Chains A and B, each alone.
Chain A
């Protein structure tokens, strides 16, 4: 009855996971809890995002799960202290990765799950049934977790939010700090297919 009389009060409060990446957090405060976010674009940008996501896990004193499809995750590229908070699962195929993600979401203990499909071939990605993403959406709605699916191209139909990252890189980028790399990445954010935010890449000059 109260919900009928005061619909505004009954609306659930949206929670967001602040990543610390200004271009992503500015629009709504971060990654939405209880929603599937698809992050696509160049794989290098995806891995820079992973680095930022891991750092945010440490800052929150929380934990995360990384499902690495293709066994290409290189722990040496990340801070050892942040990796201690990340449950890493190496999978050989996209199908296996989907099963692992399903288990982690049903478990409901990890507030952030990252499914990395960036190195998967389009044929493998095409074999993932559409219903999978809808099932994941229902699971995260129930647990309130954040699910980020990293893909080379848009494949997650049920994604409430799609973030497209793009940047041209050269060898000089290998000598810059991660903080310096982020402004160089163009970020486009789509909500239910509609673009809501965009930033242009900024060329960072090396000293």
Chain B
């Protein structure tokens, strides 16, 4: 006998918005479609239902019945995540799965070793519960019957005898054309059991082929192939706040929960985090997005949370966040054995976190490893993120190719007045360097980018002053500057 399982997430839109805030399940909350003011109630919590709020009710009417009711809009992002999670779990049960609808998927169990399906169903429920999802599970001999069983499961239902199960199911409960249901009602056929007792040929003769399909379902004989899907291996979490947030605490709270969930899934897939992409949809603005590369991929929630926490501490946004999305790029956990001559960092992730703190303290472009630009233009460099986590290699002592005393550079260069005699500078006046020039070396001329709009040209002189100080002067388009100091007398 072939078996199919249906996994149904009841009250799907409500489950999606309450997934990472289960504690609010006890409050009167309703999810509405079509705006919170003019919409209609889709789903509501038990507290709201107890106050008389019903599905399909206008939101104003629902508020009249329950003044404490909180109306939340549907969250497509969270629903998408929950659907993906459902398929991901289903994909671990069997390779043959169907995404039947919102919060409903079917699993073909023909490739699964037969066992006690009730116990199996409870195990699946526990797994979904660890991902903060409530499920009902129906197991039956055909897909449609399994789906029907899931809607009536409390919480797991295995249909051993389809005839007995279907006898009590109302015709209106199954997905049948309304006209056909109306005709059957006029005939006095209210349950599938009544329909199954009629002759299939005569039903088709009188009501058409659609009635034949319904009859097969009523008899528990409807067989169909699943529309197979492959679960996407996307490790992401999404959350929309009830209203724009003013403080960082709710963001920390939700991010922590999201990381806990993602870490759980990653552990099951034997993966660790290589990169995190944080997206904050903003109230009336373009979303803020930031990617964090994890120096040593890890699944440690504490480390990952610290990285996000450090960044958020220094983050200033123009608009208030209305949600948070976290996307993980996973990699297979790498077991690395250090070699004797390698000198990697003790704790690369801590180092990454420290870099974040340093950037917050001194500014984004003020921390990093110097990378010289491919130009002869003075002071041409930029700072790039260090790659220290890669194994270090000892290098043989090499003679330095740089000459002379290193320069202490003034940024920006100090404007100066320079007196010339016989084409040589003889006196300089500036904020730091002033006096008679007793020795001079130069000029050293340089130019570049004359072929485009970034053209530059410079003339540099090294000078010694009468007090023993050594400076570098530069001349740009007839203006003199003190570029830096090689040596100055002791203060």
1/0 per residue, CB under 8 A from B, across A169-191: the answer is 11101111111010000000000
In the bound assembly, the distance between CA atoms of A16 and B487 in angstroms comes to 29
Contact with B along A88-127 (1 / 0, CB 8 A): 1111100010011001101111000000001100100000
Query: In the complex the two chains form, is B343's CB within 8 Å of A72's CB?
Result: no
- B248 contacts chain A at the CB level, 8 A cutoff: no
From A153, A171, A176, A179, residue with most partner B Cβ within 10 Å: A171
Interface string of A38-77 (1 = CB under 8 A from B): 0001111001101100010011111100000001111111
Q: Of B361, B396, B398, B408, which is within 8 A of A96 by CB?
A: B361
A-B interface, 3 closest residue pairs, ranked by CB to CB distance from nearest: A77-B406, A174-B404, A61-B394
Q: Is B462 an interface residue (CB 8 A)?
A: yes
B354:A42 contact, CB within 8 angstroms: no
Q: Does B219 contact A (CB under 8 A)?
A: no
Q: How far is the CB of B386 from the nearest CB of chain A, in Å?
A: 5
The reply to whether the CB of A141 lies closer than 8 angstroms to some CB of chain B is no
Interface string of B376-420 (1 = CB under 8 A from A): 001111010010100011111111111111111111000000000
Once A88-B369, A103-B357 are accepted as A-B contacts, the answer to whether A74 and B405 lie under 8 Å apart by CB is: no
Asked if B169 lies at the interface with its beta carbon under 8 angstroms from chain A, I say no
Cα distance A207–B170 when bound, in Å?
107
Counting CB contacts under 8 A, is A20 at the interface? Answer: yes
* Chain B residues whose C-beta falls within 8 Å of the C-beta of A41 in the assembled complex: 490
A62: chain B residues at CB < 8 Å are 343, 392
Q: Are B395 and A171 in contact (CB under 8 A)?
A: no
Bound Cα distance A108, B353 (Å): 12
Partner of A152 from B367, B439, B490 at Cβ < 8 Å: B490
- What CA separation (Å) do A199 and B415 show in the bound complex? 39
Residue B269, interface by CB 8 Å? no
Residues of B within 8 A of A26 (CB): none
Q: How far is the CA of A44 from the CA of B361 in the complex (A)?
A: 28
- State which of A1-9, A79-87, A131-139 sits at the interface with chain B: A79-87
Q: B403 and A76: CB pair below 8 A? A: no
Q: Are A59 and B394 in contact (CB under 8 A)?
A: yes
User: Would you call B334 an interface residue if the criterion is a C-beta within 8 Å of the partner chain's C-beta atoms?
Assistant: no
Interface residues on B, range: 35 or more
A165 CB to closest chain B CB, in angstroms? 11
A80, B372: Cβ atoms under 8 Å?
Answer: yes
Q: Report the minimum CB–CB distance from B335 to chain A (whole Å).
A: 21
Which residues of chain A have a CB within 8 Å of any CB of chain B? 20, 41-44, 47-48, 50-51, 55, 58-63, 71-81, 83-92, 96, 99-100, 103-104, 106-109, 118-119, 122, 152-153, 166, 168-171, 173-179, 181
B346 within 8 Å of A by Cβ? Answer: yes
Contact assessment for B396 and A88 in the assembled complex, using a CB-CB cutoff below 8 Å: no
Q: Which of A60, A108, A118 contacts B394 (CB 8 A)?
A: A60
Known A61-B342, A76-B372, A181-B404; 10 more pairs at CB < 8 Å: A62-B392, A72-B411, A83-B371, A84-B370, A88-B369, A96-B362, A152-B491, A166-B490, A174-B462, A176-B404
Residue of B nearest to A71 (CB): B411
- Determine whether the beta carbon of A50 is less than 8 Å from that of B406: yes
Of residues 327 to 386 in B, which have CB atoms within 8 Å of A's CB atoms? 341-343, 345-348, 350-351, 354-355, 357-358, 361-362, 366-372, 378-381, 383, 386
Given known A-B contacts A51-B406, A75-B370, A42 and B400 have beta carbons under 8 A apart: no
B484 CB–A CB distance under 8 Å: yes
What is the distance, in angstroms, from B92's C-beta to the closest C-beta of chain A? 39
A47 touches B408 (CB 8 A): yes
B210 to nearest A CB, angstroms?
71
Checking B346, B380, B381, B439 against A108 with a beta-carbon cut-off of 8 angstroms, the contacting residue is: B346
Q: How far is the CA of A59 from the CA of B386 in the complex (A)?
A: 18
Could you show 23 A-B contacts with beta carbons less than 8 Å apart? A50-B406, A51-B402, A59-B394, A63-B345, A63-B388, A72-B484, A76-B380, A77-B402, A77-B407, A79-B401, A80-B372, A83-B371, A88-B383, A96-B361, A103-B361, A109-B350, A118-B408, A171-B439, A171-B464, A174-B441, A176-B404, A179-B400, A181-B405
